[in-house]
Amino acid sequence: MEIPYNSKPRPDTGLYNGKAGIWIFLASEIMLFGGVFSAYVLLRVGAEPGTWSMGLMNKWVGAFNTLILIASSATIVLAWVSLKLKDWAGFRKWKWATVVFAATFLIVKWSYEWPAKFTHYDVKFVSNEAAADVYRGFMGSDFQEKQKEIWQKRYDPKKDTFKDVKLKDMPLDGHIVGYWDKKGYHDVGSAFGLSFWSHAFVWRYDERNVSKRKGSYRDTFMEKDIVAIELAPTHGVWPDRKHASTGKIQYASASDDHAHGGGHHGVRIEKDQISRLSSYEPAHSTFFATYYTLTGLHALHVLGGILVMLYHLLPISRRMYERDPERFTNRIEITGLFWHFVDLVWIFLFPILYLL
Amino acid sequence: METTTKPDVTHEDHHDAHDDHSGQHFLTKYVFSSDHKVIGIQYGITGLLFLLFGFTLIMAMRWQIAKPGEPIPIMGAVLEHVYAHNNAGEPVFKDGIMSSDAYNQFGAMHGTIMVFMGIVPLAFAAFGNYVVPLQIGAPDMAFPRVNMASYWALFSGCVVMTVSFFIPGGSAQAGWTSYSPLASVIPTDGQTYWLIGMVLLITSSLLGAVNFIVTIIQLRAPGMTWFRMPFFVWAQFVTAFLLLLAFPPLEAAGIMQLMDRVCDTSFFLPTGVFDSGATSMAISGGGSPLLWQHLFWFLGHPEVYVLILPAIGIVTEVVANNTRRPVWGYKFMVGSLLVLGFLSFIVWAHHMYLTGMSAKVATFFQTTTMIISIPSVILLTCLFMTLWKGSIRFNTPSMFALAFLPMFGIGGLTGLPLGFNFTDLHLHDSYYVIAHFHYVVAPGTIFGLFAGVYYWFPKMTGRRMNEYWGKVHFWGSLIFMNIIFMPMFLQGFAGLGRRMSDGGATYSLLQNPDLTSGGLSDFIIGLNGYISLGAFGMFLIQLVFVINFFYSIRNGEKVDSDNPWQSTTLEWQAPTPPPHGNFPKQPIVYGDPYEYSVPGAAKDFIPQTQKKRPQGV
């Protein structure tokens, strides 16, 4: 039994089945991403001032990935063109190029972008006084002026919403470089020898004695009877990098018995001062929840595309090409349409997650 | 499979294909088959089984409503031992009594099973798969292997859903609508299983929808122009578009709720939610419960039409065939269908009048809701007009189809007070709502589906189902359906809420004699017993159908021709049952789908494939 119009277009519709199918399928894909996009819009519009954690992305890495994907969209067309010109070697060359670009995109995301966020934390404080103590400790007494400037720059320069944000709700972000327990200071690298996946955690003042997720950094954090953490603030909050990771930061600590050569390069924050300590993981904030959902869903599509393209490079595909070149070429065209869509989704994702 | 032929393949080619098929292993022929008819029957059996399963859940609930706190007879002891225990390790059916937890679980799963695992697989996938390619003269669906993947995705989803009854804590219990924040914060895993199951079911529907649309666009036989397609094909076409475009936002919402549950995000959790221990929840907050409702009902409303349109399609086929008249206003009906499909995307918020939306938004949605009733009324009117002066044959499919018309009419008209936001304020979430939508889907859609089963059974098996027991099944179903759902209108008017596990006993005047308003009278509470009796009677009558169905597969009266109903459409021109590849010779279509009782014709029907047609047709 044959299905008609598998490779030749039907005269009155001008389409072969696969092409009709992929366009219909892409319509549903638009609705799928549209659902999450609309969630993004609604949640962002409804966010309280200062709670939409925008501007923490590395936009140059994002731009690099954008270029990579655009390039892959070009190479997949070249692969199809080669096939139309009966150039199998050219097809393989351009198809491999597409696969390499796509894989690069995923590698950048999964080995750099996401892990960097899972090991990046921010702290909210139990009170305005606690926050002021910490900030004053390393920024000097005029910290509030600096802060106002910075926060207005980051969150809402047009509206004067700074005064709505309480000091205690303004997160201080950076890397945890060490901690103190009753025995003294510990470097974090040696104490938390865990993979970056398990670094991601959220810890709150009101769940001091409650442990939900086993095996995470949070459990370690709570079990060690930690009294304070050392946080190296990053440029995320403080644009003048001289405060971060230069070893010049001063903090007041009585039990300064550690063996660091150049002194601490972070801020000491007492456990009692913390109301919420969270890595940049999905649970951090609604922005990050949306970020991981959108980029994760997109990454799954990229992965799917890679698998299909690898299938087209297997010997079985070569045999199909020899048996029915037209149908195989159609398949490459359909893959290309899907791939352009995946690319296009990223072209929307990049500005709304990295730039706007 | 790999090479292409023109649509006018020769008889010999097809013959070879059949031989290939008959040499197949049992597994590839009947289980992992890519033949649209086998897949259609797989869908059909799955759908019927889950309809029965969903019905047994509601019977346990009806016992609890009629006799709150009394052990369920017979099944209570079984459930106590078989069913999942709660998180504390205690049975949720302690001493055979249904706890509120169990009631919520059964209620949530009843809705989910009936809608997503019962009616969608049966109405859309089963009948669509079996009948659509035959009616348009195609050898199979456009993508046979995608078709198979679609069924197995549904199967996996059904397995996940069913398994969730037996995990600690039991199944989902936040209702079939799965509203957040409740659904996000319930500590048991049932809700997570529900979400995973839903993602699989949605994937299945999406694959199916793509396949249907492409099949109808691409594989119509020569001469089968758009306005020569039987109305059932049109109905499936529009339904497929609804599934295609309305389901993905729910999939997105499902993924986000899954994130809320698994990754502790706050998509649907606002700042400042407290759990049952009155401690602030360890979440980032900033989410919106309303967002879930919007995304859910953006699917939820088109879903109503996904449930009803295939049934209207079946009823149209059966009515035209058994009145021996052309469908009155075929093009009006097709137009109405398209308008209905479009409008169904812009009425969703009429399910949300009580969320505190502004008067302007409510006005918009109640206006669109009133407008959407116009094409529905046109459809129903055309079907009634078809009956006018017809010589109606009262066989079983015909009776189910005829009963569909007034029953669906009641369901539709009782929806109007729910579409107006000022009347909805009183009726919202009451038994009135239950009565309304069950009139649409139970004596509405399900009667349409029964009509379809009785009507196409001879094509699938070569035998008829027993007419006498079919009529017993019909009259019993009609009577019990109305015994069940008609009193619910009264209960709803009186203010009985739809989710109370004691059937409103807490608010009865008997227990609260000093109540001055809002109490429920003995009469209203007493109706619960009659309704439950009706439900048990309904179950017994369905057993007649089950026995008739399986008995007739082997022992039913054999049909004397390929076209036992003297029908015009293409599926009756195929051999019985149709072989793999369907038609021995590519059919060519010369006429409209419902050429019955044409003046001057030799017989009272002219098949679409008949070339020689009377003058003026």
User: Any chain B CB within 8 A of the CB of A329?
Assistant: no
Looking at residue B11, its pLDDT comes to: 43
Residues from chain A that touch B287, judged by Cβ atoms under 8 A, are 43, 286
Residue A106 in any domain: the answer is yes
Residues from chain A that touch B143, judged by Cβ atoms under 8 A, are 17, 21
Residue A27 in any domain: the answer is yes
User: Any chain B CB within 8 A of the CB of A6?
Assistant: yes
Residue A348 in any domain: the answer is yes
Looking at residue A261, its pLDDT comes to: 37
Residue B28 in any domain: the answer is no
pLDDT higher than threshold 60 for residue A264: no
pLDDT higher than threshold 60 for residue B270: yes
Q: Do A48 and B286 touch (CB under 8 A)?
A: yes
What lies within 8 Å, CB to CB, of B91 at 6+ separation is: B80, B81, B83, B85
User: Is A130 found in the same domain as A207?
Assistant: yes
Looking at residue A276, its pLDDT comes to: 80
Cα B468 to chain centroid distance, Å, stands at: 26
Looking at residue A221, its pLDDT comes to: 62
In angstroms, rounded to a whole number, what is the distance separating the alpha carbons of residues B409 and B427?
19
Cβ burial of A252 (10 Å; 0-12, 13-18, 19+) is exposed
pLDDT higher than threshold 50 for residue B207: yes
pLDDT band at A251 (very low <50, low <70, confident <90, very high): very low
% of chain B residues with pLDDT over 90: 78
What pLDDT digit, counting tens, does each position of B416-474 carry? 999 999 999 999 999 999 999 999 999 999 999 999 999 999 999 999 999 999 999 99
User: Is A160 found in the same domain as A86?
Assistant: no
Task: Return the ∠ at Cα B542 (arms to B541 and B543), rounded to 5°.
Answer: 90
User: Is B509 found in the same domain as B555?
Assistant: yes
Q: Do A36 and B213 touch (CB under 8 A)?
A: no
The residue to which tokens 């999406």 are assigned = B206
**Helical spans, DSSP H, in B495-580:** 522-555
Residues from chain B that touch A38, judged by Cβ atoms under 8 A, are 249, 295
Looking at residue A284, its pLDDT comes to: 85
Q: Do A285 and B144 touch (CB under 8 A)?
A: no
Of all residues in chain B, the one with the smallest CA distance to A52 is B286
Q: Which of A15, A28, A45, A205 to mutate to test the interface with B (most CBs of B within 10 A)?
A: A28
User: Any chain B CB within 8 A of the CB of A48?
Assistant: yes
Give me the mean pLDDT over the B193-219 stretch: 96
User: Is B609 found in the same domain as B585?
Assistant: yes
Residues from chain B that touch A33, judged by Cβ atoms under 8 A, are 252
Higher pLDDT, A116 or B232: B232
Of all residues in chain B, the one with the smallest CA distance to A10 is B218
Looking at residue B184, its pLDDT comes to: 87
User: Is A275 found in the same domain as A150?
Assistant: yes
* Residue B130 structural domain: 35-269+285-566
Q: How many domains does chain A have?
A: 2
Give B300-334 as a DSSP string. HHHHHHHHHHHHHHHHHHHHHHHHTSPPTTHHHHH
Looking at residue B82, its pLDDT comes to: 87
User: Is A220 found in the same domain as A311?
Assistant: no
Assess contact for A253 and A268: CB atoms under 8 A.
yes
pLDDT band at A240 (very low <50, low <70, confident <90, very high): very low
% of chain A residues with pLDDT over 70: 71
pLDDT higher than threshold 50 for residue B329: yes
Q: B213, B390, B420: which is closest to B319 by C-alpha?
A: B390
Q: CA-CA-CA-CA torsion for B334, B338, B339, B341, nearest 10 degrees? A: 130
CATH no. for residue A94?
1.20.120.80
% of chain B residues with pLDDT over 70: 94
pLDDT band at B7 (very low <50, low <70, confident <90, very high): very low
Cα B77 to Cα A321, B82, B95, B106, B167: the distances in Å are: 63, 9, 7, 17, 19
Give me the mean pLDDT over the A164-190 stretch: 72
What pLDDT digit, counting tens, does each position of A290-343 carry? 999 999 999 999 999 999 999 999 999 999 999 999 999 999 999 999 999 999
User: Is B588 found in the same domain as B498?
Assistant: no
What lies within 8 Å, CB to CB, of A264 at 6+ separation is: A177, A178, A230, A247, A249, A251, A258
Looking at residue A196, its pLDDT comes to: 45
Q: Do B271 and A43 touch (CB under 8 A)?
A: no
User: Is B576 found in the same domain as B448?
Assistant: no
What pLDDT digit, counting tens, does each position of B214-235 carry? 999 999 999 999 999 999 999 9
In angstroms, rounded to a whole number, what is the distance separating the alpha carbons of residues B403 and B479?
11
Domain stop point among A238, A255, A279 = A279
Domain stop point among A279, A314, A335 = A279
Q: Do B4 and A327 touch (CB under 8 A)?
A: yes
User: Is A22 found in the same domain as A63?
Assistant: yes
Looking at residue A239, its pLDDT comes to: 39
Give me the mean pLDDT over the A7-11 stretch: 92
Looking at residue A185, its pLDDT comes to: 80
User: Is A132 found in the same domain as A107?
Assistant: no
Q: Which of A29, A30, A31, A311 to mutate to test the interface with B (most CBs of B within 10 A)?
A: A31
Domain stop point among B549, B566, B583 = B566
Please name the residues between 252 and 281 in chain A that touch chain B, using a CB distance below 8 Å: 278, 281
Q: Is the peptide bond before B443 cis (omega within 30 degrees of 0)?
A: no
**Model-wide pTM > 0.80:** yes
User: Is A298 found in the same domain as A273?
Assistant: no
Looking at residue B28, its pLDDT comes to: 80
Residue A161 in any domain: the answer is yes
User: Is A273 found in the same domain as A126?
Assistant: yes
The distance of B339 to chain A (nearest Cα, Å) reads 19
Q: Do A206 and B279 touch (CB under 8 A)?
A: yes
User: Is B611 found in the same domain as B497?
Assistant: no
Cα B229 to Cα B137, B209, B330, B382: the distances in Å are: 10, 18, 10, 17
Looking at residue B280, its pLDDT comes to: 59
Cα A195 to Cα A117, A185, A248: the distances in Å are: 13, 22, 30
User: Is B515 found in the same domain as B494?
Assistant: yes
pLDDT band at B612 (very low <50, low <70, confident <90, very high): confident
Looking at residue A112, its pLDDT comes to: 85
Domain stop point among B550, B566, B582 = B566
What lies within 8 Å, CB to CB, of B500 at 6+ separation is: B506, B507
Higher pLDDT, B608 or A140: B608
pLDDT higher than threshold 70 for residue A265: no
User: Is A181 found in the same domain as A73?
Assistant: no
The distance of B460 to chain A (nearest Cα, Å) reads 20
User: Is B432 found in the same domain as B577?
Assistant: no
Looking at residue A200, its pLDDT comes to: 57
* Residue A295 structural domain: 17-117+287-355
CATH no. for residue B90?
1.20.210.10
Six token digits for residue A29 = 């894909």
pLDDT higher than threshold 50 for residue A259: no
User: Is A301 found in the same domain as A235?
Assistant: no
pLDDT band at A245 (very low <50, low <70, confident <90, very high): very low
pLDDT band at A244 (very low <50, low <70, confident <90, very high): very low
Looking at residue A199, its pLDDT comes to: 55
B115 backbone φψ class: left, alpha, beta (φ>0; ψ -120 to 50): alpha
User: Is A179 found in the same domain as A231?
Assistant: yes
Please name the residues between 157 and 196 in chain A that touch chain B, using a CB distance below 8 Å: none
pLDDT band at B36 (very low <50, low <70, confident <90, very high): very high
Q: CA-CA-CA-CA torsion for B464, B468, B472, B474, nearest 10 degrees? A: 40
In angstroms, rounded to a whole number, what is the distance separating the alpha carbons of residues A275 and A125?
5
User: Is B471 found in the same domain as B573?
Assistant: no
Residue A11 in any domain: the answer is no
User: Is B593 found in the same domain as B462?
Assistant: no
Residue A6 in any domain: the answer is no
In angstroms, rounded to a whole number, what is the distance separating the alpha carbons of residues B347 and B302?
9
Residue B202 in any domain: the answer is yes
Residue A152 in any domain: the answer is yes
What pLDDT digit, counting tens, does each position of B47-96 carry? 999 999 999 999 999 999 999 999 999 888 899 888 888 878 888 898 89
Looking at residue A197, its pLDDT comes to: 45
Q: How many domains does chain B have?
A: 2
Q: Do B218 and A10 touch (CB under 8 A)?
A: yes
User: Is B365 found in the same domain as B351?
Assistant: yes
Residue B103 in any domain: the answer is yes
User: Is B617 found in the same domain as B540?
Assistant: no
User: Is A130 found in the same domain as A37?
Assistant: no
What pLDDT digit, counting tens, does each position of B280-302 carry? 566 778 899 999 999 999 999 99
In angstroms, rounded to a whole number, what is the distance separating the alpha carbons of residues B578 and B18?
11
What lies within 8 Å, CB to CB, of B554 at 6+ separation is: B463
User: Any chain B CB within 8 A of the CB of A116?
Assistant: no
Q: Do A292 and B259 touch (CB under 8 A)?
A: yes
User: Is B601 found in the same domain as B503?
Assistant: no
Q: Say which of B13, B214, B251 has its CB closest to residue A21.
A: B214
Name which of A263-272, B55-64, B320-329, B501-510 the model is least confident about: A263-272
Q: Do B206 and A327 touch (CB under 8 A)?
A: no
The distance of A28 to chain B (nearest Cα, Å) reads 5
Consecutive H or E run containing B66 = helix B36-66
What pLDDT digit, counting tens, does each position of A208-219 carry? 434 344 444 555
B392-425 CB burial, b ≥16 within 10 A, e <16: beebbbbbbbbbbbebbbbbbebbebbbbbeebe
Give me the mean pLDDT over the A24-42 stretch: 96
A to B CB pairs, distance under 8 Å: 182
User: Any chain B CB within 8 A of the CB of A292?
Assistant: yes
φ, ψ for residue B32, nearest 5 deg:
-95, 60
Residues from chain A that touch B134, judged by Cβ atoms under 8 A, are none
Residue A324 in any domain: the answer is yes
Consecutive H or E run containing B19 = helix B11-22
